[in-house]
Each structure stands twice: as C-alpha cells, then as structure tokens.
A and B are shown apart, each in its own frame.
Chain A
Amino acid sequence: MKLVMAIIKPFKLDEVRQALTELGLQGMTVTEVKGYGRQKGHTEIYRGAEYAVNFLPKIKIEVVVPAKMVDNAVDAIVAAAKTGQIGDGKIFVVPVEQTVRIRTGETNESAL
C-alpha cells in the first residue's frame, strides 16, 4: 500500500476527485492548506500598505492505494490537476505499513 499525497490548486479538487473515482478508489481525505513552492507568494495593497502574502491557499489530498494502482492514481491526478501554469502543485508517494477499518476490524488492502 502507498499513501499518495497531492498538493493541488483548490479549484481543481472536483476534477481530481472525479478522476480518482473513475479508477475505482473509494475514499480520500482533503485538507485546506497553505504553503509555497516555485510560485512563491503575492503582494496585496491596502491604502498603500503593501503586504507580502507568502503562503498561498492549496488543497492537500491524501489517498491510500494498493501498490499496483499507484502509477495509475498518480497519472490520473497529474492529468486532472495540470494547468501548465506555475503553482499546479506536487505529488508525494510514501509507503504505508498498515491499514485498519475501525468498524469491522478488516486490515490492509481489504480495508481500503
């Protein structure tokens, strides 16, 4: 099992959810986050006072998938979340040791 963690532009969330659902994935966790990468921040001006906004709002998606599906999932997120503009985000894949479904006690891939 792998944890696929993707940071994407907020308005791309629905397209990414759609793409992952079509792969047969049955769940995800979504968090509103702030951060910066190559895009850095922007400047806001209020009555002449300039404020640098360093952390931009993004959406973080976390999905745990069977190992054999990782490439498909990553490709689907890239295809759905890409605009070609700076700030499209990043995907991280990390190994997962164990999964438990709390309701039934099922473990690992049958719990996904």
Chain B
Amino acid sequence: MTTFAKYMLGVVAALALLALTHVDPAIARDAAEAANAPIADMAEFKVAQAESADEAPKPEEPLEAAGSGEEAEAKLDTGDTAWMIVATAIVLMMAIPGLALFYGGLVRKKGVLAVLMQVFTIVCLMTLLWYVVGYSLAATDGGSLNAYIGGFDKMFLAGIGPDTLSGTIPESVFFTFQLTFAAITPALIVGAFADRMKFSAVCIFMCLWLLIVYVPVWHWVWGGGFLSEDGVLDFAGGTVVHINAGVAALVACIFLGKRVGYGTENMAPHNLVLSVIGASLLWVGWFGFNAGSALGANGAAGMAMLATQVATAAAALAWMFVEWIVHKKPSVLGIISGAIAGLVAITPACGFVDGWGALWIGIAAGVICFFMSTTIKKALGYDDSLDVWGIHGVGGIVGAILTGVFAVEAIGGTAGLLEGNPGQVLTQIWGIVATMVWCAIATFVILIITNILVGVRVSEPVEIEGLDINLHGETVQ
C-alpha cells in the first residue's frame, strides 16, 4: 500500500499544479452578468413555450451532442434545463446506489463491501478527472487531431460560467450530465473482476481507462470525431458506454484469470433482493440516461423514454421465457438480467426507432444475452463474474446493429435497413469494430501498466478470506 500512497500523492500534487495554472477570471465575470439573467429567462421561457407548441408535430432534429455552445443565436430554455438537471441526478442514482446494489447482491457476502466501495470510489475519481481534463478532451475541438481526440481548452472548465450555453441548456448542466456517464461507465467494468482485484489497481486502472479509452471514444462518436463524421448512430451510449465497458470487462477478466474455486465452489449471489433493488433503480435512472440524451424536454426525449420502457420489458420477459424453457424455472436473477440487457440494447437506438423497433430490439437482446451469459460463457470458460461482457458488451452490440436496422427517418433523421438504407447497418458495424479494437488493445496495455505499478490481483489467501475484511477492514453479517 505504501507504493500506492506514493502514486496517489503524486497524482494529487500534479492536479494541484494544473489547478494553479488554470484559475480563470472569466468565471467571476460570468457570475456578475448572471445577476441580470432571471428577467431575460422569463421572456425566453414564453418564447420557448410558443416555439415548442409549434414544433410538437414535427419530427425532432437529429441529436447534436456537443460543441453547439458556440452558436451565436443559442438561447437558454428553462424547461430543457429543468429536465436535464433532473436527468443528471437520476443518472448519478444509476451508479450509486443502483449499480452498486445490483453488483453487491450478486457477489458472495465476503466481497459485497469491496464492490460497493469500488463503485463509490470510481464515481468520485471520475468526477474529478472529468472536471480536470476529461470533459475538455472529449467535448472540445482537437485541432489537427480532432478526428481522434479533443483539446485542452476547457480544462478545469476554463471559460464556463453561469451563462455559458450548450444548445439550450447551461454548459455546466451538460458537463455534469456527461460527467455522470463518465462515472458509471468505468464502474460497469467492476463486475467482471469482482472478488479478486486489488483496490489500488482498480483506482489506477479506472483513471487511465477513462482518459485513454472512454474519452477518445466519446470524442469519436459525440465530439465530432471520425465515427460521427462517418454517420455512426449512438443516441445515448451503446457504443461509448456499453460496448466500451463490455470489451474492457472481457479483457480484464481474462487478464486477471478466474476466481479461486471457479466451477467447483458455490458462487451463488448472496442477496438477490439487493440486486432487484439495484436493477430497478437502474431502470428508473435509465430514463435520465436515454431520454436525457435528447438534451432537452422535447419529443425526442419522449420517444426515447417510450422506446426504453418497451425494450426493457420485452427483454426482461424474453430472458425469463427462454430461461423457463431451458432451465425449467423462471428466475428473479433472470428477469432482472434481461431488463438490464434490454436497457443496454435500446440505449444506442432510443432516439432513432419507434415502439415497434424497440420491441424487437428488446426481444433480441433478452434472448442473445441469455445465451451469451449462460451457455456460451460456460463453453468458453472465462470468468466474467457478473456478466458485464455478456450483458453490456453483447447487448450494446445487438443494440448498435439493430439501430441500423430499425432506424426511422421521421424520428431521428436517419433511415435504417427496413426503410431501404442497408448501408446504415454497415456503418453501425464499423462503429462497433473501431470501438472494440481500440478498447481491447488499450485496456490490455493499461492492465499491463497497472500490473507493473501495483499488481492487479490480490493474493490467494486474501481472495479466499474475502476482500472486505482484508482490503477494507470491514464485514457485513
């Protein structure tokens, strides 16, 4: 642990130095101007209401994710802003306590606190990283490297004040909304190596992973990088969040190896009630994730919400019925796993498909993820402990491909295969392949680096006795 303490001290010192170089007087100036803002807001609110009444029957413009803060005519919309603040809060709820409880219930009792601790810590670490440099590298123009990565213009949120807009919402809200995505994505990976990774290694791995994998892929898809130029559709993060996390999870669980006793010892979930609560919180929070990705309170958000609900229910039932047939019993773990698979699969599609498309995406995700997480995982023999690859990776791929099949031009502005545009499926596959290749290689390298720095895996006695007592000095009874 002493070496880890040294590394952390180094990181803190480096952050402090960077902070000193980026104190920006613009923030104070913006605060003063904002004092005059409320009256203007009221007028704009009325205008926005009138506009939204006119717009309602028309299909929404395709999502423009980032960089729109520069537009000269941008005006703040209070309805959009209110919704996005709520959406941001419930996406945070997805990670803590949603994902933490979902995973916590699935591990054995000796490792539940370690999982909760990892998720909670990751949320805190990613928040600071996103603030310091992540957001800037993701969402700003990277100049000559813009196809691959953004720039350093908005480190420490330089130049962002109360009246800096991103579209119709304050950039501070857009920043925080995207921060919650950056927080939950690395936290998803935790499920793959549950019960056996060192806590120090988790911290180092996740920090590097955010900057080397998540941020570039965010920029490729949403920040004006080459995948958005190529027309890859990803409404709320099927590629950026779920395929990314799923591939990293697969690489990590193979790199670390199986848990001691895998295949012979009883590794049944210790408390499925916790997992049901967690999965349900994830479902609720996902409305913020998907409908929030419309970046406004509008028709696109409504369609995304509807598609999310339909696909999730379809996937949950699909998993349940297939399991009922194959394993003779419909299980609680089965139906909540199916729900998560459906939520994942509809994530890239929810702004582009109608309810019919959502239904089929849900069914496909439920069935395919079931076989991936049971039969195929068993046949291949890797120990993806909580099926991050089987559900998030595979569900994300199913969703990304089917987005290209079911996309409706009248909804998201792009036609899919069923509307006579087969090329969109190929475009989607290109997005998947590019993300998977980069994520797999980069994750592997980061794991090697982490292993050299602190070692990734706990010793066998520690693993057998449990991470809770050995790494955190606490237990639950």
Contact = CB atoms under 8 A, between A and B. Distances in A.
Interface of A: 44-49, 51-53
B333 A47 contact: yes
Interface string B321-336: 0000001010101100
A47 B331 CA distance: 9
A46 to B, nearest CB: 5
Ranked nearest first, the 10 interchain pairs of A and B with the lowest CB-CB distance are A48-B374, A51-B266, A51-B268, A45-B327, A47-B373, A46-B268, A47-B374, A46-B333, A44-B268, A48-B378
Contact of A47 (B266, B329, B387): B387
A53 to B, nearest CB: 7
Contact of B377 (A48, A51, A52, A53): A48
B260 interface: no
A48 B327 contact: yes
A46 B333 CA distance: 7
B293 interface: no
B97 interface: no
B103 to A, nearest CB: 14
Interface size class of B (residues with CB under 8 A): 10 to 19
21 contacts: A44-B268, A45-B327, A45-B329, A45-B331, A46-B269, A47-B333, A47-B373, A47-B374, A48-B327, A48-B373, A48-B374, A48-B375, A48-B377, A48-B378, A49-B267, A49-B268, A49-B374, A49-B378, A51-B266, A52-B266, A53-B266
Nearest to B329: A45
Contacts of A44: 268
B443 interface: no
B178 interface: no
Interface of B: 266-269, 327, 329, 331, 333-334, 337, 373-375, 377-378, 387
Nearest to B262: A49
Given A46-B331, A52-B266, 9 more contacts: A45-B329, A46-B268, A46-B269, A47-B374, A47-B387, A48-B373, A48-B377, A49-B378, A51-B267
A52 B375 CA distance: 18
A46 B323 CA distance: 10
A52 B263 CA distance: 11
Contacts of B373: 47-48
B334 A47 contact: yes
A13 B33 CA distance: 73
A45, A47, A49, A53: most-surrounded residue (chain B CB, <10 A): A47
Nearest to A52: B266
Nearest to B378: A48
Contacts of B267: 49, 51
Nearest to A51: B266
A47 B387 CA distance: 9
B472 to A, nearest CB: 25
Nearest to A48: B374
Nearest to B328: A45
B13 to A, nearest CB: 44
Contacts of B331: 45-46
A36 to B, nearest CB: 15
Contacts of A49: 267-268, 374, 378
